[in-house]
Structures are given as C-alpha cells and as structure tokens.
A and B are shown apart, each in its own frame.
Chain A
C-alpha cells in the first residue's frame, strides 16, 4: 500500500506540474533569466531601500498560498469586469437613446394599433422635425423559435429619424426604391450569414399574407452598423407598404411613431401637443421621450441591475474573507520577525505600511489580471454571434475596478497591519 502511495505520489507530483505548466512556466523562465543576467539583483537593489523588496519577499514565502489568494482575487475581478460589461450593455439601450426623439404609442398599451392618418397630423406639429411610423412584424427566420426583430417602417423617413443606423448613400437609395428591400443589422446578419444581395424569407408570428402564407421574401439591400459600438444591430427594417398591401388584416394601422424634435427643449411642448390632439378619440396616444420608453421596457424584465450587482457583491465578499484571513494568518506567523525588525529600529508605522503594501500588491496583481481576463472573456462573447449587445469595458468600468482593487487591498490588510503596528516587542520575541 505504501509503495503504491509513493509511486502514485511521484506520478501525481510531476503530472500536476506538467498540467499547470502554462501557468508557472512563464514566471519561472522570467525568474531564471533575470537571475542570470543580474536583473533580479538590480531590481532587488532598487526596491530594497523603500522596503518594497521586503514586501515582495514576505509575499513569496509560501508560493502556494500567494497563488491561491491572487487566484481568488483574479476570479472576483474577472466576474466584476464581465458582469459590469453586461450591465453597461443593458444600460446602453437607455443611455444611447437620442435626447431629441420621442415615441408615440397607443395610450392603452404599445401593442395596440394607431391609425395611419395620425402620421401627417403629428408631422404638422410645431417643433417636430421628422416622423417615422413603425409596425412590429413579429418576424422569425425559418423556425418560429428564431426570432428576428423586424420593423415595417416608412422607408423615406426612417434613416432621418434614426440616424444611428449607418449605411451608404447608395444602399439607402437602393433600399428606398425596392419595395421588397430590407436592411439588416450587422449582428443579426452575422448570426445568419446574410449578405447584401441575398434574398431571404422572413415569416411573421402575427400576420399572414392574403393567401394564408405567413412568409414574405426580401432582398437584402444593406447591412447596417451602429453609430456607437454599443448601438444595437440586431434589428431589420422593411417597407410598411409592402407589408401592408400583402397582409390579410390590420390594414392601414400602424404600431407606433418615432418622432424627432428640432430642439430637446421643445420636447415637453411637442409631447403635450401630440397627445392633446388625440384625446377622446378612439385611439388616444401617449408620447414619451425615447429614453423613458426604453427604460420602462427594461424595467419590465426585472431589476437586472440588482441581480447582477448582487452577484458581484457576493463574489467580492468571498475574496474579502479569504484573502483577509490569509493576510491575518501570514502576519501572525511572522510576529517574531516583526519583533526583530522593531528592535533593529524600524518604526511601527513603517511596518504597518509594509503589511498594507503586501495586501495592496496581492489585490493589484490579482485584480489587474482579472480585469485583463475579462477583456478576453467579453471579447470572446462578442465574437460569437449572439442577441446580446456588444460588451464593452469602458473607462468608467476600469476606473471603478481599480478603485475596488485599492479598497480590497486596504480592507484585507488593515487588520493585520494594525496588529503588526501595535505588536509589543517583548511579546513578539518571547513567543515560541
């Protein structure tokens, strides 16, 4: 039995080293190389004076423990970076809404229709620079489960009101002229492999053609990109007229209107003007700024922010506890040495700073690596076609991340630092 253990143990030890070699090998190589060329000595000399070298040496006493604490920190910041990118992406729908755009829907609910005659009346309102009417098509591609966000619009006004949709002049004019033309967003185009010039079938959950068939065919006239990296490019746009003429019911009704104002200061006024026009008619309207509309829509899903935020908090709690504990333990193991340092003449405050330096360094390395990794993860998610908006780690996220790194370093280090500060020399030296 014993022999088996030792043989297995040997295999295990080396197997484990080999498997994890991508992790430690680079560090080992760097270390070996710098030792050889005297770099490590030079670095040690440079950092000795400030005490940074001591901080580093104290941390690397138990490499395994250091690895585990850095790893735990790495995980927490990987989660933070990725999830915050998600949050930003969800918020972007709201953030990127144009300030000078309003949405006019049926007052009962946005799923109720409005008469198409309302469009010209709204166009005539003072302060309105453009109106585009839109219908929800309820589109899907091949399988009812593969939903495609399809909007049947007034093709002449569409690109003027929603100018974050970027296509070339030629493509725009080509689309406007082709009744069966469709412009598709880059994200959805990549998902299904659509290119300009393709003829694609789109079916509707809601509507069917006169002959009972619920599939329409379209020519892809453009693949649009968004003005901002996070502008949604999952939507497709078709001509209202084509849809209206061929579908079997609900004729001459529109879903809602996108309204552009000449000046954001006029928004309030325009809202009132529009809604007042239709009070007491069979189709009363409710007009809201686009931002408010998008926000309300998101809120219907639930407090996503709360859920994601809770996950991040939970992750931070875990490492706080783990790393904090580790620090306390590692300082406790060194009481003798701390005592000696104090007898040599090191002031308590200096030792306090050194301990904090250790915890900050761990937080910095782990956190820094975690943020880097979340770049990688979000990049991976972005490269795979998916219905999510583009995940971006903007400067806000990065700044917040490093603020948390600093906070984490301080919190995990404060208790052991204080105990090192207050350590009585005699107690320290007489401890076994």
Chain B
C-alpha cells in the first residue's frame, strides 16, 4: 500500500545565531511523511525535536533546503501565506493545552473556524460535531478552569481537528497527564488516524506514548535514527 507523500523535507538545514556563535540544529535533514502516517519522534532534549515540529508546522523556516507539502513548496511562503496555509492544513496540540482561558469550550473549539467563511449556523454544527467526537458535548459551556487536564486536552484536540486539517502536530500531548488520561488521549489520536485518515506527527519523550504510533523516529543531535515499531 503506497500512500502518497504528504510531507517532504529535502536537505533541510536549520541554524541560528546565538551571541557570537552559529548553532546548527539540522545540516542535511531528509524526511518523508506519507499520508495517513502516525509518526512519533523521540529524542533527548537539545536534539531538535521542537525545532523540527516548528518547521513542520510552518512556524519556523529552514535556512537551507526545501520543504514540500502536498506537492507545493512551503519554505518560500510569506508570513501571511503561511498563516493561511496553517489554517487550512495543520492542527496543533500542545503539552499545556493552550486554550484561551476566557472562552468556554465551545468557543475555544470554534476559534479556527473564524478564519473560514462558514456561517454562524455551520460553525455551530461543526463545533457540536467536534465536541461529540471527543466526548465533551455536555461540557460545551464550561470554562477551561472548570475542567481537568484531560478534558482540556480533549477540547484542544477538538480545536485541532475542526477545520479538517490534513496534518496534526502534537508537542508532548500527554506530558502533563496521568497514565489513564494519557491513554485516552492517545487512543483518540489513533482513532483520528485510523478512522479519519489524519496524518499525525507526535513529539514525545514517553516510550509508552510512542507505542501508539505506527513508527518512531529517534532524533539525536539533528540526525535521524529510525526504529520501526513493527520490528
């Protein structure tokens, strides 16, 4: 089964200047992500996981090489174009949920839809569907402060999928949750991957979490060591 390549990093280089030094994170990174893939990226701190995720999310731009998403170049887009691109294609899930504290769950989930042309009614429908999916329909009017960590993360997941993005990027999504809740979230991610065909890239330091992914890549000092789960 060959799925088409969704994401292609070709000879990507990323470095930045800190004081007088030039620090290179990646010097010749090559990476392919197929559509429908569920990829876990593990590695020690300083290995460049976060930078990689930022590059994948269009939050950061490489200093060299090419980034191809869905047969279009991403690294040449302007900041505004990137914003639009992110809105259309990417869903983010953060370690600390990053919900807007002053909005209730439904409004938080609705946020990405403000970037579309959907009507009020259509937005409401989408929000209801998304909250149903993550099992929080009854907590639609609750504020983040009134919810547990696990519930907040589920709201975050709902927010991440509501625009139906092709790619979900997760930065330590279970880092702040207990084992049981973490499992629930990971199962949800698996569901999204298997049933809905979402491509997921998850950065994690937890090997148990990595098990939920289809394959794991290890990153060390800016280079990959691949480790297939199946083997």
| Per-position binary interface string of chain A over residues 30-66, scored 1 when its CB falls under 8 Å from any chain B CB and 0 otherwise | 0000000000000011101101011001101100000
How many angstroms from the CA of A337 to the CA of B101 in the assembled complex?
A: 9
Contact A337 B100 (CB under 8 A): yes
Instruction: Find the A residue at minimum CB distance from B80.
Output: A347
| Per-position binary interface string of chain B over residues 65-82, scored 1 when its CB falls under 8 Å from any chain A CB and 0 otherwise | 000000000000001100
Measured between beta carbons, the chain B residues less than 8 angstroms from A60 are 102
Most buried by B among A44, A342, A425: A425
Contact A343 B86 (CB under 8 A): yes
How many angstroms from the CA of A426 to the CA of B54 in the assembled complex?
A: 8
Determine how close the nearest CB of chain A comes to the CB of B128; give it in whole angstroms.
13
Contact B107 A44 (CB under 8 A): yes
Contact A345 B112 (CB under 8 A): yes
Contact B114 A49 (CB under 8 A): yes
Measured between beta carbons, the chain B residues less than 8 angstroms from A51 are 114
| Per-position binary interface string of chain A over residues 56-84, scored 1 when its CB falls under 8 Å from any chain B CB and 0 otherwise | 01101100000000000000000000000
Measured between beta carbons, the chain B residues less than 8 angstroms from A44 are 107
Contact B120 A57 (CB under 8 A): no
Contact B114 A61 (CB under 8 A): no
Confirm or deny: A340 has a beta carbon within 8 angstroms of a beta carbon on chain B. yes
Contact A345 B98 (CB under 8 A): no
Measured between beta carbons, the chain A residues less than 8 angstroms from B88 are 345
| Per-position binary interface string of chain B over residues 46-77, scored 1 when its CB falls under 8 Å from any chain A CB and 0 otherwise | 00000000100101100000000000000000
Evaluate whether A61 and B80 lie within 8 angstroms (CB atoms) in the complex, with A48-B107, A344-B111, A425-B59 already known.
Answer: no
Measured between beta carbons, the chain A residues less than 8 angstroms from B92 are 340, 343-344
Measured between beta carbons, the chain A residues less than 8 angstroms from B102 are 57-58, 60-61
Measured between beta carbons, the chain B residues less than 8 angstroms from A347 are 80, 83-84
Contact A346 B98 (CB under 8 A): no
Confirm or deny: B191 has a beta carbon within 8 angstroms of a beta carbon on chain A. no
Measured between beta carbons, the chain A residues less than 8 angstroms from B159 are 344
Kindly identify, within residues 136 to 159 of chain A, every residue whose CB is under 8 Å from any CB belonging to chain B: none
Confirm or deny: B225 has a beta carbon within 8 angstroms of a beta carbon on chain A. no
Kindly identify, within residues 101 to 135 of chain B, every residue whose CB is under 8 Å from any CB belonging to chain A: 101-103, 107, 110-112, 114-115, 120, 123-124
Determine how close the nearest CB of chain A comes to the CB of B26; give it in whole angstroms.
15
Kindly identify, within residues 299 to 352 of chain A, every residue whose CB is under 8 Å from any CB belonging to chain B: 336-337, 340-349
Determine how close the nearest CB of chain A comes to the CB of B70; give it in whole angstroms.
16
Measured between beta carbons, the chain B residues less than 8 angstroms from A45 are 120, 124
Measured between beta carbons, the chain B residues less than 8 angstroms from A49 are 114, 120, 123
Contact A346 B120 (CB under 8 A): no
B110's partner among A48, A341, A348, A425 (CB-CB below 8 A) is A48
How many angstroms from the CA of A45 to the CA of B110 in the assembled complex?
A: 11
Confirm or deny: B188 has a beta carbon within 8 angstroms of a beta carbon on chain A. no
Number of A interface residues in the complex (CB < 8 A): 27
Determine how close the nearest CB of chain B comes to the CB of A356; give it in whole angstroms.
17
Contact A344 B115 (CB under 8 A): yes
Determine how close the nearest CB of chain B comes to the CB of A191; give it in whole angstroms.
55
How many angstroms from the CA of A342 to the CA of B58 in the assembled complex?
A: 11
Instruction: Find the B residue at minimum CB distance from A59.
Output: B102
A57's partner among B59, B79, B90, B103 (CB-CB below 8 A) is B103
Determine how close the nearest CB of chain A comes to the CB of B64; give it in whole angstroms.
18
Confirm or deny: B33 has a beta carbon within 8 angstroms of a beta carbon on chain A. no
B59's partner among A53, A54, A343 (CB-CB below 8 A) is A343
Confirm or deny: B87 has a beta carbon within 8 angstroms of a beta carbon on chain A. yes
B57's partner among A46, A341, A343, A348 (CB-CB below 8 A) is A343
Determine how close the nearest CB of chain B comes to the CB of A297; give it in whole angstroms.
58
How many angstroms from the CA of A184 to the CA of B54 in the assembled complex?
A: 83
Measured between beta carbons, the chain B residues less than 8 angstroms from A343 are 57, 59, 86, 90, 92
Kindly identify, within residues 213 to 237 of chain A, every residue whose CB is under 8 Å from any CB belonging to chain B: none
How many angstroms from the CA of A266 to the CA of B229 in the assembled complex?
A: 105
| Per-position binary interface string of chain B over residues 4-39, scored 1 when its CB falls under 8 Å from any chain A CB and 0 otherwise | 000000000000000000000000000000000000
Contact B59 A426 (CB under 8 A): yes
A344's partner among B80, B87, B103, B107 (CB-CB below 8 A) is B87
Determine how close the nearest CB of chain B comes to the CB of A9; give it in whole angstroms.
24
Contact A342 B83 (CB under 8 A): yes
Contact B120 A345 (CB under 8 A): no
Most buried by A among B84, B98, B123: B98
Instruction: Find the B residue at minimum CB distance from A425.
Output: B59
Measured between beta carbons, the chain A residues less than 8 angstroms from B59 are 343, 425-426, 429
Provide 15 A-B residue pairs closer than 8 Å at the C-beta atoms, listed in order of the A residue.
A44-B107, A45-B120, A49-B114, A49-B120, A57-B102, A58-B102, A61-B101, A344-B92, A345-B88, A345-B115, A347-B84, A348-B79, A348-B83, A349-B80, A426-B54
Chain B contact residues, CB within 8 Å of chain A: 54, 57, 59-60, 79-80, 83-88, 90, 92, 94, 98, 100-103, 107, 110-112, 114-115, 120, 123-124, 159
Given A54-B103, A58-B102; 7 other pairs, CB 8 A cutoff: A51-B114, A57-B100, A336-B98, A343-B57, A345-B85, A345-B112, A347-B80
